[in-house]
Structure 1
Amino acid sequence: MLFNSLSFAVFLPIVFILYWFVFNKSLRLQNFLLLLSSYYFYSCWDWRFLFLLAFSTFLDYYSGLKIHNSQSQHWRKIWLVLSVGINLGFLSFFKYYNFFAHSFADMMMTGFHYKMNVSTLSILLPVGISFYTFHGLSYVFDIYNRKIEPSTNFVQYSLFVSFFPLLVAGPIERATHLLPQVEKPRHFDYSRAVDGLRQILWGLFKKVVIADNCAQIANIVFNNSDHHTASALILGALMFTFQIYGDFSGYSDIALGTARLFGFELLRNFAYPYFSRDIAEFWRRWHISLSSWFKDYLYFPLGGSRGGMLKTVRNTFIIFLVSGFWHGANWTFVVWGGLNALFIMPSVIFKTNRKNLETVAQGKLFPNLRELLQMVITFALTVFAWIFFRAESLSHAFRYIKGIFSQSIFASTNVPLGVLPVLVVVFLIMEWLGRENKYAIEKLKAGKVPAIARWGLYYTMAALVYVYANNEQVFIYFQF
């Protein structure tokens, strides 16, 4: 069930009405309704994987109790390793088995000239497995580190893991943030619900109007890149850059807005990353929940920035390479992670990675020349790295990059764009003007913006979503 589908447009109001007008007197029934709704939402992808989700949920719930109740540190560690090992085992089996099999066969052929017959598996990747696995891992890690106590209510814990707005593509929640909201009564707040609907509309606009239209151009170029001019290749890379941002941040906006309809506040996942002045700032603003997850559960346990510059550099490369591999079973993702590690190295070595913490040009309409140049350079590096993310293979990526630096840089693109450039420019202007808010149109509220302008924008966005709704495409991050 896609957020931008008719089925979700029917599903959401039904759950909302039952939640607030039928089960509003009982927290237990509200949570149970959301849990059933979440499992139904997930079953619309493939009901068979519900058993995997349920097993993973029970494993972490039970392991958390055993870790907390064990008097011996030895047994606490055994239960932690058991939970982590089984979770990562499932993730590796479904997501990485074929990759490792092919990589090992290639290594044997290259290094020893021995040809192996590789047995691969024709299995589907369970949608959202990387996300709900990380929900459970953070829970058992926090219990093991005595940051939280385990939940004793299985329904509440299950809802934390599988809450349908965040189940298949995040944000990656923490038990310290979401579980307390699950455990306490929630009351309907009209202004919060309206704010949620506003953010849902903005998310749909980013996904349906911007991302899906950019995807058409990106697909045309990337799928036949050897026969396009350099200018077309640059255009394709730019379109994918806006596609992946509009797609993933649009999903996050819809998820956060939907959760707000039910009285929940989820972790923010994006903060205008393409207005960043260096790569360190970009990674504080892009996929925030994943970046912070790796920082807390991998970077800091490895020693973080303690122990000298060499260890800091090592740990930085580790988290970026692992982050790249988390995204998919392809060397292109690993190289993409490695490139970002290289790009961030100057900030790490010269200790300027905590320099740009505030919003660019805060309180001003325009950035100064230095900020503008920094944003352009950071954006260009990001676009370059996205080529590896989008390419089908490393050889495809290298051919694509080689084509960009050919003599056809000033040739015509011969790619039909229509009104897409206008839509992208308008979108960027709206993002820039709203960059100090949680999402771009957050401040379009009664009393702050004239009603005719506010509702005119709402209806225009809704009309554009309706016009382009027939170009329905799956969210990119569903494959991760």
Structure 2
Amino acid sequence: MIFNSLDFGIFLPIVFILYWFVFQKHLKAQNALIALASYLFYGWWDWRFLSLIIFSSVIDYVIGLRLQKTDLKHQRKLLLWTSVFVNLGFLGFFKYFNFFIDNFVEAFSFFGYQIPNTSLNIILPVGISFYTFQTLSYTIDVYRKQLKPTKDFIAFTAFVSFFPQLVAGPIERATNLLPQFYKKREFDYANAVLGMRQILWGLFKKVVIADNCARLANEIFNNSADYGGTTLILGALMFTFQIYGDFSGYSDIAIGTSRLFGFKLMKNFAFPYFSRDIAEFWRRWHISLSTWFRDYLYIPLGGSRGGTVMKVRNTFIIFVVSGFWHGANWTFIVWGALNAIYFLPLLLRNKNRVHTGEIAENRLFPSFIELKGMLVTFSLTVLAWVFFRAENISHAVQYLYDLFLGIGSYKNIFITYNLLKDFNLTLLLILILFVCVEWFGRKQEFALEKMNRISGRPFRWLAYFSIILIIGIFMPTEETPFIYFQF
């Protein structure tokens, strides 16, 4: 089930009514409803893979209780590694088995040895990378004694499978989300309105921005050999807006939906395309994943505490692993390594924490230096996204080669204009409007958070109606899954 579907449009009100009007006075019943609704939400795609979530939940629930009963170091480590191997074992098999087999066969073929390829027709379970990391955070935090293990199995299963963020995040920490299932939730009208506003903005990002940019990006990337530099730049830009609108749109809908049920999820995006350097970008992009790798991988490896060699090593590990987390393709690994290369000069010069405040704080527009930093960072990000979007390494390299080779051709500019015109020139105007709204709302949790401050209810409702109208006009005729469902 996806957020931008009729099925979810029916599912959400039913669960909401049951949650607040039938089970409001019974906390365990509410949690059970959340768990069952989450299983229905996930099983709507393929009920067979529910067994993976349930099995992971049972394993980590039991391991958590066992960790509480022993202080013996070797037993605690054995329990922790059991959880790690079981969870990452599932993830490795379903997501990376064929990748390693194919590359193993190719490596032997390179040296003249032919061995049979045993690739399997494996279906990748939706969201496995997200809920695996979520349940792992619980076991690790219990092992570190940063969290007491729960004895409430229903609350734990609801935490692992919480449907708003189950398949594409944010990747919630057990220390943040799990305790919220222990406390009685009271309906908060103001918070629910805020949630609906965030859902609306998330749908706008997905349906209007991401899906329409995707049409143009797909046309250009799928036929990149037929186009010149200017058109290829347009394709890279369209994918840049597509992936942001798609993924941050999902996060907005997930966080907004959670508000409707009295839960608070962590912020996952903080207007990353306004970043002034690549370090700031990674503090603002996919925050739940970046902080997960920081706390559970980068810091345990030594972080930035060691010498230069250790800093470089740990930086490359964290970015390459982050890239590999996204998919079993060398393009993701190169994308991660490229971002590590971007990041290293800042780290080595101790400049990676320079921009921690808001851009253009107390000002309407950025300074010249801030604007230059934004443009450079955005340009580097766009180039890196080419590897993320390309089919393979050779496609990405050829794409970038053709992009730079034909960047100054007037003929290409004319072709680009006609291509954009064939799709919809109005899309450019909407993109400009979208960037402006995001800029003016950059100090908020999401762009429309303070919309209630607009004086006069008629003006607010006019703004809401306008957004809904634009969504209706630009909504694709077919349901389009979110990009990060494949991860």
What is the TM-score normalised by the length of structure 1?
0.98
The aligned amino acid for 1:306 is: R
Give the structure 2 partner of residue 35 of structure 1. Answer: 35
Listed as ranges, the matches of 1:56-67 within 5 Å are: 56-67=56-67
C-alpha distance in 2 between matches for 1:390 and 1:310? 31
Listed as ranges, the matches of 1:87-102 within 5 Å are: 87-102=87-102
Match of 2:483 among 471, 476, 480: 476
Give the structure 1 partner of residue 343 of structure 2. Answer: 344
Give the structure 2 partner of residue 144 of structure 1. Answer: 143
Contact 1:299 1:319 in 2 (8 A): yes
C-alpha distance in 2 between matches for 1:426 and 1:453? 18
The aligned amino acid for 1:329 is: A
Deviations 1:357-404 (A, max 9, x none): 011001211001110000000000000000000000001101101110
Listed as ranges, the matches of 1:385-400 within 5 Å are: 385-400=384-399
Give the structure 2 partner of residue 456 of structure 1. Answer: 462
Give the structure 2 partner of residue 467 of structure 1. Answer: 473
C-alpha distance in 1 between matches for 2:294 and 2:72? 28
Contact 1:229 1:409 in 2 (8 A): no
Deviations 1:379-436 (A, max 9, x none): 0000000000000000110110111012364322142341110110000000000000
Listed as ranges, the matches of 1:71-90 within 5 Å are: 71-90=71-90
C-alpha distance in 2 between matches for 1:26 and 1:51? 27
Offset at residue 462 of structure 1 (A)? 0.7
The aligned amino acid for 1:39 is: Y
Give the structure 1 partner of residue 267 of structure 2. Answer: 268
Q: Secondary structure at the match of 1:165?
A: helix
1:422 aligns with 2:429: yes
C-alpha distance in 2 between matches for 1:38 and 1:116? 43
C-alpha distance in 1 between matches for 2:459 and 2:358? 26
Q: Secondary structure at the match of 2:353?
A: coil
Task: Number of aligned residue pairs: give it.
Answer: 478
C-alpha distance in 2 between matches for 1:468 and 1:44? 26
C-alpha distance in 2 between matches for 1:384 and 1:395? 15
Give the structure 2 partner of residue 103 of structure 1. Answer: 103
Give the structure 2 partner of residue 3 of structure 1. Answer: 3
1:240 aligns with 2:239: yes
1:436 aligns with 2:443: yes
| Cα pair distance change 1:131/1:407, threshold 3 Å | closer
Contact 2:454 2:460 in 1 (8 A): no
Moved more, 409-418 or 436-445: 409-418
Offset at residue 471 of structure 1 (A)? 4.5
Contact 1:233 1:400 in 2 (8 A): yes
Offset at residue 213 of structure 1 (A)? 0.2
C-alpha distance in 2 between matches for 1:455 and 1:308? 57
C-alpha distance in 1 between matches for 2:455 and 2:444? 15
Moved more, 114-123 or 179-188: 114-123
Listed as ranges, the matches of 1:14-413 within 5 Å are: 14-110=14-110, 112-407=111-406, 409-410=408-409, 411=412, 412=414, 413=416
Contact 1:80 1:144 in 2 (8 A): yes
The aligned amino acid for 1:140 is: T
Contact 1:136 1:161 in 2 (8 A): yes
C-alpha distance in 2 between matches for 1:16 and 1:7? 14
Offset at residue 67 of structure 1 (A)? 1.6
Offset at residue 55 of structure 1 (A)? 0.3
C-alpha distance in 1 between matches for 2:127 and 2:220? 28
Offset at residue 114 of structure 1 (A)? 1.2
Contact 1:230 1:406 in 2 (8 A): yes
Q: Secondary structure at the match of 1:301?
A: coil
Deviations 1:56-83 (A, max 9, x none): 1111111111122123211111111111
C-alpha distance in 2 between matches for 1:39 and 1:464? 33
C-alpha distance in 2 between matches for 1:42 and 1:198? 25
The aligned amino acid for 2:243 is: I
Offset at residue 113 of structure 1 (A)? 1.7
C-alpha distance in 2 between matches for 1:408 and 1:323? 31
| Cα pair distance change 1:214/1:471, threshold 3 Å | farther
| Cα pair distance change 1:321/1:408, threshold 3 Å | closer
C-alpha distance in 1 between matches for 2:478 and 2:251? 20
Deviations 1:138-183 (A, max 9, x none): 1111111111110101110111111000100000000110011111
Contact 2:212 2:427 in 1 (8 A): yes
C-alpha distance in 2 between matches for 1:408 and 1:350? 33
The aligned amino acid for 2:197 is: R
Give 5+ residue unaligned stretches, structure 1. Answer: none
Offset at residue 198 of structure 1 (A)? 0.3
Offset at residue 17 of structure 1 (A)? 0.6
Contact 2:230 2:406 in 1 (8 A): no
Deviations 1:268-326 (A, max 9, x none): 10000000000000000000000000000000000011111221111011000000000
C-alpha distance in 1 between matches for 2:479 and 2:377? 31
Give 5+ residue unaligned stretches, structure 2. Answer: none
Offset at residue 229 of structure 1 (A)? 1.5
The alignment's C-alpha RMSD in Å is: 1.0
C-alpha distance in 2 between matches for 1:454 and 1:15? 28
Deviations 1:412-468 (A, max 9, x none): 2142341110110000000000000000011011x5433232211110111111222
C-alpha distance in 2 between matches for 1:449 and 1:376? 34
Q: Secondary structure at the match of 1:267?
A: coil
The aligned amino acid for 1:439 is: F
C-alpha distance in 1 between matches for 2:462 and 2:443? 22
The aligned amino acid for 1:354 is: R
C-alpha distance in 1 between matches for 2:243 and 2:11? 26
What is the TM-score normalised by the length of structure 2?
0.97
Percentage of matched positions with identical amino acids: 58
The aligned amino acid for 1:236 is: G
Contact 2:282 2:290 in 1 (8 A): yes
Contact 1:211 1:245 in 2 (8 A): yes
